[in-house]
Amino acid sequence: MSSKKTSPVAPHKASHAGADNRPSRSEAESAVRILLGWTGDDVTREGLQDTPARVVRAYEEYFSGYNKDPVKILSTTFSEVEGYDEMVVLTNIQFVSHCEHHMAPIIGKAHVAYLPNKRVVGISKLARLVEIFAKRLQIQEKMTAQIADTLQDVLQPQGVAVMIEASHGCMTMRGVHKHEANLVTSRMLGAFRNDPSTRREFLSIIERKK
């Protein structure tokens, strides 16, 4: 086991306003009430009375990633791996995120791989890492980079690969209404970037697991 305190390059700290100027729960509920009224509905009718409180509770869940530290999640590693030095790949990690431009859902899956350098992390930690970045306001490209860079910086493996495929509510539910459109993003670091055969192996594993 080892614990690292190095701060990765990617911004992991919540970039929202600090505790001092963060709106209160009741201010957030009032804001939802205003949006509800703006739709043209009657905010005083029975069905909508508890909606602002429910929406704020739901937002707490959607955006719970701001309160969690991805570096800490990865800080417990195992070094007794009997010299295991092959690729570790976790495929089809499902997530729900929200786009920072429309606050519309981004629904998709992430495939995460690394080539260990003496140390490995518990596999559930890879899924937790995806979850922490998903539960923030995002754009898919940024989320892909944050996951890859954090893994690289904290674990310092020989390489990292992250691929994300997702559909974006802002495209499927509105705007151009392309229901089937999937955005695919990837970030390859170290061996995955430099060695074509490592990259091919990763791509063929996730292709088989789909």
CA 127/CA 154 separation, integer angstroms: 15
CB burial class (10 A; 0-12, 13-18, 19+) of residue 133?
buried
Q: Which of 38, 44, 114, 45 is nearest to 74 (CA)?
A: 114
Q: Per rule CB under 5 A, is residue 166 in the interface with Zn ion?
A: no
Angstrom CA distances, 4 to 39, 156, 205, stand at 49, 10, 30
Catalytic entry in 12, 29, 140, 158: 140
By beta carbon distance, the residue nearest Zn ion is 170
Q: Per rule CB under 5 A, is residue 130 in the interface with Zn ion?
A: no
Residue 102 catalytic?
A: yes
CA 14/CA 43 separation, integer angstroms: 32
Alpha carbon 159 to its chain's center: 19
Residue 168 catalytic?
A: yes
Smallest distance, Zn ion to C-beta of residue 99, A: 3
Candidates 170, 183, 203, 205: give the one binding Zn ion (CB under 5 A).
Answer: 170
Say how many residues touch Zn ion, by CB under 5 A: 4
Q: Is 99 annotated as a binding residue?
A: yes
The interface region with Zn ion, picked from 1-9, 44-52, 97-105, 195-203 by CB under 5 A, is 97-105
Candidates 101, 174, 178, 209: give the one binding Zn ion (CB under 5 A).
Answer: 101
Smallest distance, Zn ion to C-beta of residue 169, A: 7
What's the angle, vertex CA 62, arms to CA 126 and CA 165, rounded to 5? 50
Residue 100 catalytic?
A: yes
Q: Is 170 annotated as a binding residue?
A: yes
Catalytic entry in 16, 27, 101, 141: 101
SS3 for 109-176, per residue?
EEEEEEECCCCEECHHHHHHHHHHHHCCEECHHHHHHHHHHHHHHHHCCCEEEEEEEEEEHHHHCCCC
Q: Per rule CB under 5 A, is residue 99 in the interface with Zn ion?
A: yes
Residues 6+ positions from 34 with CB-CB distance below 8 Å: none
The interface region with Zn ion, picked from 145-153, 154-162, 168-176, 184-192 by CB under 5 A, is 168-176
Smallest distance, Zn ion to C-beta of residue 199, A: 30
The interface region with Zn ion, picked from 53-61, 142-150, 163-171, 191-199 by CB under 5 A, is 163-171
Helix 51-62 and helix 25-38, axial crossing angle in degrees, nearest 10: 110
Q: Per rule CB under 5 A, is residue 102 in the interface with Zn ion?
A: yes
Known binding-site positions for Zn(2+) = 99, 102, 170
Residues tagged active-site: 99-102, 140, 168, 170
* Chain positions contacting Zn ion, by CB under 5 A: 99, 101-102, 170
